[in-house]
Amino acid sequence: GQQVMQIPQYQHVQEGEDFTTYCNSSTTLSNIQWYKQRPGGHPVFLIQLVKSGEVKKQKRLTFQFGEAKKNSSLHITATQTTDVGTYFCAGRYGNNRLAFGKGNQVVVIP
Amino acid sequence: ETGVTQTPRHLVMGMTNKKSLKCEQHLGHNAMYWYKQSAKKPLELMFVYSLEERVENNSVPSRFSPECPNSSHLFLHLHTLQPEDSALYLCASSPTVGHHEQYFGPGTRLTVT
């Protein structure tokens, strides 16, 4: 079906450490988007990946789209307290449907 | 601020009440969306409007009734809701329905008693 799975659902990360969150689809995606939702806030768009194998960086964040366009990852280095929140991926399918994952809730331990 | 506003921000209503949620976008976008966000569930797309025309309705119960009078405004009319309808209702907009990112409003936290 057209759904994306995110793993893990929860992460506790020590400040200064790195972490990765993953997004997987059983079917090929047209593109994938990543959003961040701070506690008590709303989802905010981070990035969109379109090409197979694409890698994009935003400061300490590295986004990757798999070669088969079925999975994606977000890697954050040197975690800061401002990285707290829930990271959602949203996969777009050929019929234009955008399916959000359940999100990865990240707690940063000072 | 993302240019998408929602009112009210919080709403408590009884199961027999009728209320409306309002969304306004100041971005000049042509597509608007209603999402439901419940704890431990993915964002659920409820309705999609493109240039005031409903283009998607994802099996949403009839107690939720959307209205899009123009491309900048979107309403969600609520009546005879159930406690399980309690959630954060998010409005979003995008330039078109398609390959663009979506801009979300702050949401309305709805509690049905």
Q: Tell me the average pLDDT across A26-48.
A: 95
Residue A37's CATH number: 2.60.40.10
CB-CB neighbours of A7 under 10 Å: 13
Task: Name which of B101, B102, B103, B104 to mutate to probe chain A: the one with the most chain A Cβ atoms within 10 A of its Cβ.
Answer: B101
Interface of B with A (CB under 8 A): 2, 40-43, 45, 90, 97-99, 101-107
For residue B57, the model assigns a pLDDT of 75
Classify residue A78 as left (phi > 0), alpha (psi -120 to 50) or beta: left
> Closest Cα of chain A to B41: distance in Å?
6
Q: Is A45 close to B97, i.e. CB distance below 8 A?
A: no
Question: How many structural domains are present in chain A?
Answer: 1
Continuous H helices in A1-110: none
Q: How confident is the model at residue A35 (pLDDT cuts 50, 70, 90)?
A: very high
Identity (one letter) of the amino acid at B78? L
Q: How confident is the model at residue B6 (pLDDT cuts 50, 70, 90)?
A: very high
CB-CB neighbours of B53 under 10 Å: 9
Asked whether residue A32 carries a pLDDT value surpassing 90, the answer given is yes
Q: Which residues constitute the domain of residue A10?
A: 4-109
- Reported as a single tens digit per residue, the pLDDT across B72-113 is 999 999 999 999 999 999 999 999 987 689 999 999 999 999
Q: How confident is the model at residue A55 (pLDDT cuts 50, 70, 90)?
A: very high
For residue B2, the model assigns a pLDDT of 65
Q: Which residues of A touch B40 (CB under 8 A)?
A: 102
Q: Is B99 close to A30, i.e. CB distance below 8 A?
A: yes
| Chain-centre distance for alpha carbon A1 | 20
Q: Which of B3, B11, B1 is nearest to B108 (CA)?
A: B11
Identity (one letter) of the amino acid at B81? L
Asked whether residue A1 carries a pLDDT value surpassing 70, the answer given is no
Q: Identify which of B43, B97, B106 has the shortest CB distance to residue A100.
A: B43
Mean pLDDT of chain B: 92
For residue B88, the model assigns a pLDDT of 97
